[in-house]
Structure 1
Amino acid sequence: MPIDSDSGTPPSDSNRNGNGDSHQLDTPFGSFELDRFPKPKMTRGKQQPLRAWDAADEYLLQWISEQPVLTNASPKTLILNDSFGALAVALQQWPCWVQSDSFLAQQGVMTNLDNPGNSLTSDTTSRKPELLTSLQWPEQPIDLVVIKIPKTLALLEDQLFHLRNVIHSETVVVAAAMTKNIHNSTLSLFEKILGTTTTSLAKKKARLIFCKPQVDSWQGVSPYPSCYTLPEFPFTVHNLANVFSRNGLDIGTRFLLEHFPQRPNAQSIIDLGCGNGLLGIHAKHLHPDAHIHCVDESYMAVESARLNTEAAKSCGFIHGEPCEMTFEVNNSLADTADASADLIVNNPPFHQQSVIGDHIAWQMFTDAKHVLRQGGELWVVGNRHLDYHLKLKRLFGHCETVASNRKFVILRSQKR
């Protein structure tokens, strides 16, 4: 049965920030209580206005509800890049897989699915969507693919190539984003990798993308992980699709490498927000007897760090007895023991998905203070305009500028 790409009515305005309940999402599939993860803190007695969904989520659900070919069939559904579970919670009555590269997003999905008020039927437990990392894919054919367009086009490109292994010519593929985040390059990826692509009218500044898989004309494979070499390292650097600065060493990391701390007596060093792991690998090179722990909230980042560590071991760049480096996907240092690290190096991100702010850096700095032993140090590299020194001084009581240039600053705080 054909599906009308322009059908659907604008989502309700009742969930705009400042109007109605900022936690309640009203959809054709039911009303649900949704929170972001981590849950926003109270600010001056008022809840922060950020919601766990946007108009693109509402538009997607409205359109899906108006397609009898879907609503009458209980399709096997794959959801990609669901921010905090708006799509997973609403579509949980169908066999469903939810894939994300973000640990925080997955925790948000899980938290909102576990909310008793969001259960659709008494047998929800047996149908609860299966959560997949960005390195995992369903093992059976999918009838409906629902995509929230990610911030990184490389991630979308990699996902579209991998989708070829789980979809068929009749699979319904629908994607959504706010209009400002859909470009010609976005549509070109769908057209080039999967098949004929069209778009909907814009509703509340959101737009849908429809793609008809053309299985017989598929060519090529995903270009990820991408690889490059650096004068600083005698091995090839591997980067999966969603790794920051995947085509070359970012200038903040290079600046920190030039001024990297050397602590001969350090037993435990943490690369916090490790990305592709190059800071952690360099730490191991300088401190062969120390245990190095790489942590990030991106599954692709941690896997890239693992790949690069193996490459560094094979060429003898890192060694020691034992040559110990460990890797963890987590929300900052949530499960790391207090007073367990001698040195933490950190190149913090300043956005969570499309939301820009300093909340992630603040959590990282706070966690680092708890995890550092007395006398341990936190070294941070960041853009000068972010004023991280103010936060570090507030937390640690002091902050020293180790080095600076026109764009970046390296800061050091010691736990006293």
Structure 2
Amino acid sequence: MKADNPLAEVFERNSNYWEHKKVLLCGQIPSLQLLNSLIKTEKAYVITDNYPIAQGMSAMMGIKLGNSDFEVASKRHVSVIFSDYGDERIKGHLEAVDTIVLFLNKTKSLSQKILHCLMPYINPQVQILLMGANAIGGKSGDSLVKDVAQVFKVDTARKCTVFAANLNEGAQFKDSKALSDVKFGGLTLKQNHGLFSQGELDRGTHLLLNAMHRDLSGMDKVADAKELEDLSNADLKSLPTPKDHAAHYVLDLGCGSGIIGLSLAARGYKNVICSDISATALNCTAANAKLNGLDLKVLASDMLPKADDLERASINVPGGRFNIIATNPPFHQGINRTTAQTINMIAQAKESLTSDGVLYLVGNTALHYEEPLNEAFDNVEIIAATTKFTVFKAWNN
């Protein structure tokens, strides 16, 4: 079967490095189809931070993956592990391997962090293959290991590059540089490599937070962002809240480090669920909740969670419907820009909201989310806007 992705094809071209061996695949896994190739291995592990990849591969194995921040699916000699690479629970599911295949991420610091986190599982004789599309730095992939290994370029094809590395004696991979904390409304949030807007609160989310919290406080409507009060240094707990707000069910969709959900939890919302496709995001959000003394639940989910996803994770949300969904949705998949997932989410959001539920969404102004929002909802209001970002509030009668 011909590979469905250039990088997957390059992986197949270099089967002599992993066939009939114990192999670990990690990084930005390019295709579900790689699972079929692992039949040729003696033992194979796939560690991925990406829930759709883990979920898809597990389904191909006939296993339904759970929705926590750490999940394992195993069949015969193949194991798929959905996890943050720094999660110590990996230890119980991984043995020494002959070959590590690292599919490079577009963020070099994340690839560096993965190697550092895997160091406890790497034996001195392991061979490391670095595979990446040239568009995300594949040509310079050797820079990750050249200080601690003998590195050789072994393939260039389909605008991809492959390096093979043999570790020097006593080699140790350095961790990525620590990121700055993010602060908002009395909260302090640790950050992690691989998350959106690393080490800072991006302007879109900042605008959403100010507009949403103002709206929830019943303040006068202000569309001009210049007139919005900046709540960065405010005490969120002191803001007025809607009646019966504590009983509301809240979804922070695509939570990242958890700032949206945690800001609502700080205001007294008791049923906050933070979802993301990234195990790193879920792990980071849970850690930030503990750091700030707040209670919330995390859920692995590809966009809007279904009722059975919530039930399987033992999260009680009546009918799977939320009173509030708040999101700064992604519009990139790898290096490609796409709004298809967000537009699909908007079309389905009504089914995940209570009859009086509200969707708060911020997006790049140039993406024109007002069009699909107006098609899906009875009421759409712009509650803050700049030349670059627009915050929408959408609800049905």
Q: Give the TM-score taking structure 2 as reference length.
A: 0.79
Counterparts of 1:108 and 1:219, CA distance in 2: 31
Against the structure 1 CA distance between its residues 174 and 219, is the aligned structure 2 distance closer, same or farther, given a 3 Å change threshold?
Answer: closer
Q: CA deviation at 1:358?
A: 1.1
Counterparts of 2:35 and 2:100, CA distance in 1: 12
Counterparts of 2:185 and 2:358, CA distance in 1: 25
Letter in 1 for 2:331: F
Q: Does the aligned pair in 1 maintain the 2:7–2:30 contact within 8 Å?
A: no
Instruction: Indicate the residue corresponding to 1:310 in structure 2.
Output: 290
In the alignment, structure 1 residue 61 sits paired with structure 2 residue 12? yes
Match of 2:156, SS state, is: coil
Match of 1:129, SS state, is: strand
Question: May I ask how many residue pairs the two structures share in their alignment?
Answer: 341
Identify which of 67, 78, 81 aligns with 2:24.
78
Letter in 2 for 1:264: P
Identify which of 146, 158, 162 aligns with 1:191.
146
Instruction: Indicate the residue corresponding to 1:295 in structure 2.
Output: 275
Match of 1:243, SS state, is: coil
Identify which of 23, 35, 59 aligns with 1:111.
59
Q: CA deviation at 1:236?
A: 3.5
Q: CA deviation at 1:127?
A: 2.4
Against the structure 1 CA distance between its residues 184 and 148, is the aligned structure 2 distance closer, same or farther, given a 3 Å change threshold?
Answer: closer
Identify which of 185, 194, 197 aligns with 1:242.
194
Counterparts of 1:310 and 1:325, CA distance in 2: 9
Match of 1:242, SS state, is: coil
Instruction: Indicate the residue corresponding to 2:81 in structure 1.
Output: 131
Counterparts of 2:6 and 2:30, CA distance in 1: 13
In the alignment, structure 1 residue 330 sits paired with structure 2 residue 310? no
Letter in 2 for 1:26: K
Counterparts of 2:297 and 2:320, CA distance in 1: 18
Q: How does 1:331-346 map to 2 (within 5 A)?
A: 331-336=302-307, 338=319, 340-346=321-327
Q: Does the aligned pair in 2 maintain the 1:235–1:311 contact within 8 Å?
A: no
Q: Does the aligned pair in 1 maintain the 2:332–2:338 contact within 8 Å?
A: yes
Instruction: Indicate the residue corresponding to 1:102 in structure 2.
Output: 50
Instruction: Indicate the residue corresponding to 2:359 in structure 1.
Output: 378
Q: CA deviation at 1:223?
A: 4.1
Considering only aligned residues, what root-mean-square deviation do their CA atoms show, in Å? 2.4
Against the structure 1 CA distance between its residues 152 and 366, is the aligned structure 2 distance closer, same or farther, given a 3 Å change threshold?
Answer: farther
* Higher RCO (CA-CA < 8 Å; seq separation 6+): 2
Structure 2 stretches lacking a partner, 5+ long = 64-73, 217-240, 308-317
Structure 1 stretches lacking a partner, 5+ long = 1-24, 28-52, 116-123, 319-323
Letter in 2 for 1:76: K
Counterparts of 1:271 and 1:196, CA distance in 2: 45
Instruction: Indicate the residue corresponding to 2:181 in structure 1.
Output: 228
Letter in 1 for 2:23: T
Identify which of 175, 198, 217 aligns with 2:130.
175
Against the structure 1 CA distance between its residues 220 and 179, is the aligned structure 2 distance closer, same or farther, given a 3 Å change threshold?
Answer: closer
Residue deviations 1:41-66 (CA, integer Å, cap 9, x gap): xxxxxxxxxxxx4212111211123x
Q: How does 1:20-31 map to 2 (within 5 A)?
A: 25-26=1-2
Residue deviations 1:186-228 (CA, integer Å, cap 9, x gap): 4322224x5233324421212112222124142644545x342
In the alignment, structure 1 residue 88 sits paired with structure 2 residue 43? no
Instruction: Indicate the residue corresponding to 2:249 in structure 1.
Output: 268
Q: How does 1:159-174 map to 2 (within 5 A)?
A: 159-174=114-129
Q: Does the aligned pair in 2 maintain the 1:141–1:167 contact within 8 Å?
A: yes
Q: Does the aligned pair in 2 maintain the 1:332–1:363 contact within 8 Å?
A: no
Against the structure 1 CA distance between its residues 349 and 256, is the aligned structure 2 distance closer, same or farther, given a 3 Å change threshold?
Answer: same
Q: Give the TM-score taking structure 1 as reference length.
A: 0.75
Match of 1:370, SS state, is: helix
Identify which of 168, 175, 193 aligns with 1:214.
168
Q: CA deviation at 1:293?
A: 1.1
Instruction: Indicate the residue corresponding to 2:235 in structure 1.
Output: none
Instruction: Indicate the residue corresponding to 1:42 in structure 2.
Output: none
